[in-house]
Amino acid sequence: MKANVWMGRNRLEIQDVPDPQILNARDAIVRVTSTAICGSDLHLVDGYIPTVKKGDVLGHEFMGEVVEVGSGVRDLHVGDRVVVPFPIACGACFACEEGLYSVCENSNPNAGIAEKLMGHAPAGIFGYSHMLGGFPGGQAEYVRVPFADVGPIKVEDDLPDEKVLFLSDIFPTGFMGAEMCDIKPGQTIAIWGAGPVGQFAAASAFLLGADRVIVIDRFPYRLRRVQRTGAEVLNYEEVNVLDALRDMTGGRGPDACIDAVGMEAHHPTPAIYAYDRTKQAARLETERPYVLREAIMACRNGGVVSVIGVYGGFVDKFPMGTVMNRSLTIRTGQCHVQRYTEPLLQRIRGGEIDPSFVISHRMPLSEAPHAFELFKNKQDECNKVVLTP
């Protein structure tokens, strides 16, 4: 089959790779009908996530048709149309029973690698390094889906792929980011990052009752797109974000702040950007945590900092004194997608939101390397790419 594979830093190729096969009784094989490029895929392409190997198939946002099931799969059948969550979860361990699907204790066969870096291992993830299981991803014609009786959600044919595809990751991720803020009526939420996850976080904050949402970014086309959700915007290359947020909130600061950027953040001050960029390039730190630092400094006393941007290792100059002395709460995690798919599907069906608003480009899978270039370099106002095999 054809698949988009990692061949080294900033090198992707469409190659012929072996067709997936049923390996365990709870596996299913899905023929991919739509897949997407996620911002966190860029961390792999840029070489900042360890244990990625040449020939690995990328992609963790995908959906399609079930074409084969293992003998232990009872609730999926050949011909079912499904959206597949990006974290792989067994459904039976302590974490899964607590609804913490992205830290499933049984789905990561390479848990020992992750434990050396993180202390304990998170779940396996499609197409996201061998530290997280080494599972071939969804930017391919077919995918093997482990624990298929737990993750995939069946979708009827009345909803097109583009309305439900993002239940695989970025819609639940944005929603969880907003949910972790414990939003109350009248509150103001600030979000760093106007990419697709930030756009879903903004829309979700309004769904959960926020009075105001302020989104910070530097690309005008992304700021224009997030304004469609009702959000106010700040261009951090034009204003001092901390001063602007104080002015907009009567000096108090936002009630909660969401980091929807993660490890490859940008900073408008050349010297500050160069400090972390140099350390990251030299592998002396794995992150550029400008957004995380600024969100902590901006948040009101006693507020919440919700972190849904991906981080992979260690940050420098972390303002822990601010967190402790100002009674801030930090909440974070890879999204527990399986917890959200059904309720968010009902919101889509009810007309509360149409997730396809984030899509800017539609391209064939054969053009995935070019699509990554457009997305990474913000060319042609590229916001979100959907690929079709």
Among candidate residues 223, 224, 263, 268, the one with its CA nearest the CA of residue 242: 268
pLDDT for 271 equals 85
Q: Considering only CA atoms, which of 102, 26, 46, 7 is closest in space to residue 265?
A: 46
The residue ranges of the chain whose pLDDT is under 50 are none
User: Where does residue 183 fall: left (phi above 0), alpha (psi -120 to 50 degrees), or beta otherwise?
Assistant: beta
Write down the pLDDT at residue 51.
95
Q: Are 135 and 68 in contact (CB under 8 A)?
A: no
List the one residue out of 82, 146, 139, 130 whose CA is nearest residue 386. 139
CA separation, residue 122 to residues 62, 69, 95 (Å): 21, 26, 10
78-132 pLDDT tens trace: 999 999 999 999 999 999 999 999 999 999 999 999 999 899 999 999 999 999 9
| CA dist 198 → 153, 207, 351 (Å) | 24, 14, 20
pLDDT of residue 313: 85
The whole-number pLDDT of residue 276 equals 87
CA distances from 143 to 91, 180, 352 (A): 20, 32, 31
Give the per-residue pLDDT at 360.
Answer: 98
**12-16: strand order across its sheet:** 12-16, 2-6, 56-57
SS3 240: coil
**pTM (global) more than 0.85:** yes
The pLDDT, as a whole number, for residue 349 is: 97
Instruction: Classify residue 236 by its DSSP letter.
Output: T
- Which pLDDT does position 272 carry in this prediction? 85
CA–CA gap between residue 113 and residue 131 (Å, rounded): 5
Cα distances (angstroms) measured from residue 376 to each of 44, 191, 226, 371, 381: 12, 20, 19, 9, 11
Domain annotation for the chain: domains and CATH numbers: 2-169+335-388 (3.90.180.10), 174-332 (3.40.50.720)
pLDDT of residue 308: 98
> What is the predicted pLDDT for the residue at 370?
98
Of all helices (H) and strands (E), which one includes residue 200?
A: helix 196-207
